[in-house]
A and B are shown apart, each in its own frame.
Chain A
Amino acid sequence: MRNFASFVVFAAVLSAQQAPPSKPGKVEGVVLNSVTNDPVKKATVTLQAQGQPTNHSATTDATGHFHFDSVEPGKYMAIANRDGFIPAQESLRNPWAKPITVAEEQEVKDVSVKLIPLAVVSGHVFDEDGDPVVRASVQALRYVRGRARQLNPSGYATTNDLGEYQLLDLEPGRYYFLAAVQPRLARLPPHTKSATPEQAYPDTFYPSALQAEQATASQVAAGAQLNGIDFRVHKAPAFHIRGKAVNGRTGEPLRNAQILIQTRGSVFFGNVRPQQDGTFDARGVVSGSYTLICQTEDLYSRQVIDVGDHDVDDVQLMVSPPFEISGTVRLEGDPPPSEHRGQMRVNLVEMMGGGAAAVVNADGTFSLKVTHGLYDIYASCDAGAYVKSIRFGDQDVTSGKIDLTQQSSGALNIVCGTDVGQIQGSVQNENGEPAAQAMISVVPEGEHQGRQDLFFQLMSGENGKFEYRDLAPGDYKVFAWESMDQEMMRSAEFQKAFESRGAAVSISPGGNASVQVKMIPAVDIEAEKNKLP
């Protein structure tokens, strides 16, 4: 079967190559496990030709070897892939691929492509008596450093009838493990009294903490096999969230709907259906913070409920239709309508992932259909411009946050500034030599602090120099990193640790600034990464 697959691919390649008469070369090599250096069999290796749609693909044999016997001369990227592995970062510029150049009739040999083995974590979920908990969900969580530091799930499993789970294919990193046991009470009729004290299992971090702050994080190395990550969950008093869902358009009780209940970490908890009179009764809720989401075809509501040590009654869920927010995007000083060139979009993104997107019309107008909630605004201007101000009604929302929990109308006006400046710089390593391929991050400071849309990253050239145009006027701090990942670059607390190592720069309207930055060595970055929880 593998031969057949290769045949199909090569047949396509050969027929495509009949036009240019250049003589093909060959490529061969091996795929290795980055931890053990053992060959990896059955890996897919793809040669991606730059600027060409056709790729060459092959599978490694039992000794991890692959070969391409007819490769058109040119520049390629070699990428390996296999279940249970991720490609190793070969260089900063090409994080996943290895660059290969094939000349006419050249035999490129001994190409080694590395794969990082993924980790496996397994264990049990037991209750207070040591009985297995069936269908508990277990998550591996990692801190993600976006706009706010947040624990995000990056692996998920459920326990079987023996209470066993296995989290497969975790990337190396520091993880928290969380077990959630959903109460099996959804099928209880309304008006049900419990003869035994109402109890439920709170979400439990490994080994038995109720808060992430008290939990033990585990360092999971590449290819690690962590067994025996066993949870003991203990019952806690459970309460009710009761209330009424109301159709915000008609004022009538909302019947044919489902109310989704999520715990704070946006983990699914359960759902409840309102009765004929719109009332609902969600039981089995332990103390903590919950988000109630009710969505029908055209109505939506979202409400956060804090549960302490007693039932929460009389929650009013006003489930409302979406409303329209209209707005304009215009160039500063330009009287509307101003033609814009590219395809501009305005997005409103809600915390729970909901939101609305609009394409800006040629005359600079747009409209968005949204529901009540707290939104992040994502807007960008055409090349050569930046978002100078965003106003919602008479409110300045340039910070990128808009509160639509109360308002249901208003105009969103975006002004794009054209008085952009530029920055030139050079990066040196510890020895004062030009540092090529350093990651540069340009972080807005002062009045623009926290503006993610004004945050830029780029890479220094071979001579250690870099240049960026279309910068909004204002203060910035420029950092150069020897190695970096996307999450860390945007992390405020991470940047804070290196605050003194950034170069401050001020861009005046239409101005030009230059800056010299010392590259932060990879060892320092790694040391700081390990300090973070």
Chain B
Amino acid sequence: MMRIALVLSIAAPVLLAQEPPPPRLSVAGIVISSAGDPIRKATVILRAKDEAGISYTADSDANGRFVIYDVQPGAYVVSADRQGFMSDVDGAPGAPPPGLKVEAGQSVTDVKIKLAPLGVITGRVLDDDGDPVRGARVEAMAYTYQGGKKELRSVAQASANDKGEFRLFGLDPGTFYLRASGHNRSRGIPMLGSFAPTYFPSTTDAAHAAPIDVSSGAQLRGFDMRLRREPHYSVRGKLPEAGHEGAERMLQIVPRGGLEGHFPSSMRQDDETFEFMDLLPGSYVVIGTVSEDGKTSVVRQPVEVVNADVEGVTLNFLPAIEVTGSVRVEGTPHHPLDNLRVFLRGDVPMMMGQSSAEVKPDGSFVIPDVVPDVYEITVGPTQGAYMKSIRFGDAEVQEGRIDLTQGSGAVTVLLGTDVGELEGSVKKSNGDPAVRVRITLIAYGAHLGRGDLSRSGFTDEQGKFHLRNVAPGEYKLFAWEDVPIDAPQDPEFRKPFEKQFVAVKMEPNGHQTAVELTVISVKASQRPAQ
């Protein structure tokens, strides 16, 4: 900071002596709510479109106004950030903020940034006698899409106070499901049962949860929930014969559905037996690792807890597998392909479901200690390239999945660099340009199901789009006015819109222009069933 000041003070007199100072270019404006009220203390961000360019930030004053002097001419996007508000501009969710062009010698002083207030849900968590559940954990859940899969995820969390009252805030407009669970504060002292996670109004089954629609700025009150205490159970079993003293053993139990939410459990373990305690009924997986003399054995065993202790679980440890292979690049990459990693993603949504390893400069990789299972294999980050083929042993891999249950084999990944570009424009049904809408390119034909080849982007202020790094092959191109982020990757979601695409065939190193299509309005069409 001081160094910059010093440089300026030397440079300024020189400029003054030779030519008149350049005019102080400014960008100024106001941050207002959807209702038109000024919003103070918002952080305004003027982000340079050119990555190397200078970006600017300013706080809005008590009247919502801001001014930024000495802005370099160039292309920017402008946004504002304030707790309790979200950006209020037209366009599909996830679209970048609107653009702003600063011309040399011209100030822009009428920038209007609109923010929409977020929603609030309040209520109480009570037990079956109507007593407050102090410290209960309450979550606002919403259906979101991750890698083409629809999932009910916790998007906001709150803790109930000593009276059982909760306040979930900062909710984007949308549909939510409330889930409450007790808080485990047992401090290692045995408890007789605990509260099972419950959805509003009173079901433990997410499929029967009541949807709650939250509009912008809504303050929804009185969402009271009743929790029931469920008994705890234990899972007991035998450990395989212990090796010598140097063996490192790790054992844990996790809910099959992942670790989200309430999960009280403790464990006891000696040389021969183990016990997981304080488990609510549900589906679990016991995960274990034994390392001995440099060899690792692993186990991943499902356990169902219904209405009794589970006794006599025998853990079948299997030797862990080492996956070796190489990544080769065909042709010359458009971007440097460094920091490449190989990822194995299993079906179990938990921390141990994924392994990865770096790709060494010679292209080789070694992933140690992999649990024998079926995995999706991916390589990343591959900007300007794509996985052209994957071989596992002698066979070409289908849909990017390798089966390690029958042993390992060498994996060879070939990265293609003959990617192409796709340009075009999107119109609304009335012929107007569709601005800031989402474009999705989905692989078809020989590459059907290859999510990693899918490309996504947005149209600009003129309704034009430009997708890069498109692998050769057949695609369907969609444009969406109002689609949840990542939803178009889900074949189930696309079903009702299967006819509203434009077929695209990308040649190696191809460049297609003037592709035209009409935007889909999800809301206007029938809404897909939840």
Contacts and interface: CB of A to CB of B under 8 A. Distances in A.
Is this pair of chains taken from one and the same complex? Answer: yes
A135 B57 contact: no
Contacts of A343: 245
B246 A361 contact: yes
B159 A193 contact: no
Contacts of A185: 43, 57
A81 B189 contact: yes
Contacts of A2: 229
A55 B190 contact: yes
Interface stretch (A82-90, A322-330, A476-484): A82-90
A160 interface: yes
Given A44-B192, A168-B162, A195-B67, A81 B135 contact: no
Contacts of B193: 1, 5
Given A166-B162, A361-B246, A161 B57 contact: no
B161 interface: yes
B201 interface: no
A169 B185 contact: yes
Contacts of A12: 309
Given A58-B192, A359-B245, A135 B83 contact: yes
A255 interface: yes
Given A83-B185, A189-B47, A161 B191 contact: no
A195 B69 contact: yes
Interface stretch (B48-56, B87-95, B415-423, B457-465): B48-56
Nearest to B56: A193
A57 B191 CA distance: 8
Interface in A6-52: 8-9, 12, 42, 44, 46
A4 B135 CA distance: 25
A120 interface: yes
A194 to B, nearest CB: 5
Interface in B167-206: 167, 169-170, 182-183, 185-187, 189-193
A122 interface: yes
Nearest to B59: A196
Classify the interface of chain B: helix, strand, loop or mixed.
Answer: loop
A81 B57 contact: no
Nearest to B169: A161
B298 interface: no
A255 B81 contact: no
A122 B167 CA distance: 15
A187 interface: yes
B453 interface: no
**Central interface residue in B56, B58, B228, B358, by most chain A CB within 10 Å:** B56
**Central interface residue in B52, B54, B131, B192, by most chain A CB within 10 Å:** B192
B230 to A, nearest CB: 7
B186 A81 contact: yes
A310 interface: yes
Nearest to B58: A195
Contacts of A148: none
Interface in B116-153: 120, 127-129, 131, 133-135
A68 interface: no
Given A81-B191, A84-B162, A184 B56 contact: no
Interface string B17-57: 00000000000000000000000010101011001111111
Nearest to B70: A193
Contacts of A83: 133-135, 182-183, 185
B231 A44 contact: no
Contacts of B162: 84, 120, 166, 168
A362 interface: yes
A531 interface: no
Contacts of A81: 186-187, 189-191
A191 B56 CA distance: 8
A161 B120 contact: yes
Contact of B41 (A120, A131, A164): A131
Contact of B57 (A57, A58, A192): A192
A362 B229 contact: no
Nearest to B69: A195
Interface in A238-253: 239-240
Given A83-B135, A169-B185, A195-B66, 17 more contacts: A1-B128, A1-B193, A1-B230, A1-B231, A4-B231, A42-B127, A84-B135, A84-B162, A134-B169, A160-B167, A168-B162, A184-B83, A191-B54, A195-B57, A195-B68, A196-B58, A239-B1
21 contacts: A2-B229, A8-B307, A9-B192, A42-B127, A59-B192, A81-B190, A83-B133, A84-B162, A86-B187, A120-B162, A157-B159, A160-B167, A161-B83, A168-B162, A169-B134, A184-B83, A187-B45, A189-B47, A195-B57, A311-B2, A359-B246
Interface of B: 1-3, 41, 43, 45, 47-48, 51-59, 66-69, 81, 83-84, 120, 127-129, 131, 133-135, 158-159, 161-162, 167, 169-170, 182-183, 185-187, 189-193, 228-231, 244-246, 248, 307-309, 339, 358
Q: Which 4 A-B pairs have the closest CB atoms?
A: A195-B58, A161-B169, A134-B83, A195-B68
